[in-house]
């Protein structure tokens, strides 16, 4: 019998049959440079497949086939040897079965726990905490804002309207302060599916975790009780949401983005944490946040400088400079691409409006030294060297071309100098 007919009889491929021949599990004779399978080869194949179904390894199957070939189980001793091996395999599989059942039970528990994770409902509706009223101001003229038609529950403003004599208007809806979004690039969009998280390379995720720990350590060294911490441009990442449980509990937090749907997502996620932190959520253009000038004590920049530079000629601090105190801090992370790299070219293909200094760590470090008096600490987290071929994640997954740095600075200069090029 030729190999084609033989493999068809046992519903396996000719390649598999050749593999078994090369391993010595099948020993057909060769005629005219072709395998010729006989009746004894069929017996070997039947036993081989039966033993394979018992989850014996190829090496173990070879030994058992050899035992039958040598003795044909003619004596009780050889047959007992064969039975002992089968009993041993049975006991092994029963042990694995008990282990698997334990794993299955644990998986079921994890499924149950995870299914209930998002069933948490906030004990109360969370809106704009009243304590933030003292920080609000018109972003156009700097004047006071008038609050009308507001709905207040305990110390939270759930809805209302804000207006200034100069004509500026904003609203509070579902606890979010919504102002003008400003001009939005046609290449920009709200990442409501949070693909920046879901499609990230595992190495980059590990770097982000290291960055989280590094930044939390530096932030924890500052006395932030009653101080204002701002994180803007959270369309890509929101450091505060990921780390609220480890952040200063008595600080006042402002989380903002130009897209109301993005702010809504993170407000919902933070509300589920059930923390007592006071948070103001703003959906408005970065240079039009309805806040008093110089009210921010610490700025969190987790990829915000990168995101801003995709659509503007500058970094995010340029848009937020008016809100920072002279004595403020900034803690952040910066993704970088090698100059003239494939990643850089891909960046300009996807975001043709990108600033020429986008993702340029050397330029960004010069920028920091121009805009902040004290560079307290900075560190390179590493470079991604294992790629991910997912087309949607292509920008961040080119071997050796993507780096991540962290920084912690203080004493804002008040304006950006012109001599940091």
Q: How crowded is residue 136: how many other Cβ atoms within 10 Å of its Cβ? A: 21
Q: Is 256 exposed, middle or buried (0-12, 13-18, 19+ CB in 10 A)?
A: buried
Contacts with 46 (C-beta within 8 Å, 6 or more apart), sequence order: none
**Tokens at 205, concatenated:** 């995720």
CA dist 100 and 63 (Å) reads: 28
DSSP 291: B
Domains and CATH numbers, the chain: 3-72 (1.10.1660.10), 183-412 (3.40.50.150)
**Tokens at 233, concatenated:** 């441009």
Tokens 């995709």 identify what position?
310
CA dist 222 and 237 (Å) reads: 23
Residue 412's pLDDT is what?
A: 95
Residue 328's pLDDT is what?
A: 96
Residue 413's pLDDT is what?
A: 85
Residue 420's pLDDT is what?
A: 47
Residue 75's pLDDT is what?
A: 81
**Tokens at 255, concatenated:** 């989380």
Q: How crowded is residue 399: how many other Cβ atoms within 10 Å of its Cβ? A: 12
What is the DSSP track for 365-398?
Answer: HHHHHHHEEEEEEEEEEEEE-S----GGGGGG-S
**Tokens at 25, concatenated:** 């599990």
**Tokens at 306, concatenated:** 């990168």
411 sits in which H/E element: strand 402-412
CA dist 376 and 142 (Å) reads: 32
**Tokens at 244, concatenated:** 């609220």
Tokens 């149950």 identify what position?
112
Strand partners for 280: 254
CA dist 378 and 301 (Å) reads: 13
Residue 76's pLDDT is what?
A: 86
Residue 194's pLDDT is what?
A: 78
DSSP 238: -
Q: How crowded is residue 207: how many other Cβ atoms within 10 Å of its Cβ? A: 23
Residue 221's pLDDT is what?
A: 94
Tokens 């004493």 identify what position?
411
Per-residue pLDDT of the chain (421 residues; tens, 9 = 90+): 999 999 999 999 999 999 999 999 999 999 988 999 999 999 999 999 999 999 999 999 999 998 888 888 778 888 888 999 999 999 999 999 999 999 999 999 888 887 766 555 544 568 999 999 999 999 999 999 999 999 998 889 999 999 999 999 999 999 999 999 999 999 999 988 877 766 677 778 888 999 999 999 999 999 999 999 999 999 989 999 999 999 999 999 999 999 999 999 999 999 988 888 999 999 999 999 999 999 999 999 999 999 999 999 999 999 999 999 999 999 999 999 888 888 788 888 989 999 999 999 999 999 999 999 999 999 999 876 554 444 444 454 455 678 899 999 999 986 554 444 4
Residue 109's pLDDT is what?
A: 87
Residue 12's pLDDT is what?
A: 94
């Amino acid at each position: 019998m030729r190999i084609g007919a033989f493999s068809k009889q046992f519903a396996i491929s000719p390649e598999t049959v050749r593999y078994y021949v090369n391993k010595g599990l099948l020993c057909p004779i060769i005629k005219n440079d072709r395998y010729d399978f006989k009746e004894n080869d069929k017996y070997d194949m039947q036993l081989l497949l039966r033993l394979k179904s018992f989850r014996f390894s190829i090496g173990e199957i070879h030994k058992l086939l050899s035992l039958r070939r040598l003795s044909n189980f003619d004596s009780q001793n050889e047959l007992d040897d064969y039975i002992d091996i089968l009993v041993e395999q049975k006991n092994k599989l029963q042990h694995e079965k008990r282990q698997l059942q334990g794993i299955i039970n644990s998986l079921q528990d994890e499924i149950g726990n995870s299914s209930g994770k998002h069933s948490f409902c906030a004990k109360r509706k969370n809106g704009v905490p009243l304590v933030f009223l003292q920080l609000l101001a018109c972003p156009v003229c700097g004047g006071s804002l008038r609050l009308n038609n507001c709905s207040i529950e305990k110390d939270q403003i759930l809805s209302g309207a804000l207006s200034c004599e100069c004509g500026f208007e904003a609203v509070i809806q579902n606890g979010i302060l919504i102002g003008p979004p400003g001009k939005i690039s046609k290449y920009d969009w709200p990442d409501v599916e949070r693909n920046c998280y879901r499609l990230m390379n595992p190495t980059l995720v590990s770097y982000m975790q290291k960055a989280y720990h590094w930044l939390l350590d530096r932030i924890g060294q500052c006395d932030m009780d009653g101080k204002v911490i701002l994180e803007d441009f959270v369309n890509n990442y929101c450091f505060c949401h990921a780390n609220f449980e480890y952040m200063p509990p008595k600080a006042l937090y402002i989380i903002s983005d130009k897209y109301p749907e993005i702010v809504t997502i993170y407000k919902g996620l933070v509300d589920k944490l059930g923390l007592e932190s006071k948070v103001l959520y703003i959906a408005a253009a970065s240079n039009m946040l309805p806040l008093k000038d110089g009210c921010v004590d610490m700025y969190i920049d987790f990829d915000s400088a990168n995101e801003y530079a995709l659509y503007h000629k500058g970094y995010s601090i340029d848009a937020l400079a008016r809100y920072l105190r002279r004595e403020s801090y900034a803690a952040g992370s910066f993704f970088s691409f090698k100059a003239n790299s494939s990643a850089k070219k891909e960046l300009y293909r996807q975001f043709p409006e990108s600033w020429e200094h986008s993702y340029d760590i050397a330029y960004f470090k010069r920028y920091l030294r121009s805009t902040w008096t004290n560079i307290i600490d900075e560190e390179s987290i590493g470079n991604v060297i294992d790629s991910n071929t997912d087309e949607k994640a292509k920008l961040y997954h080119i071997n050796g071309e993507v780096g991540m740095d962290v920084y912690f600075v203080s004493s804002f200069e008040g304006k950006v100098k012109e001599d940091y090029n």
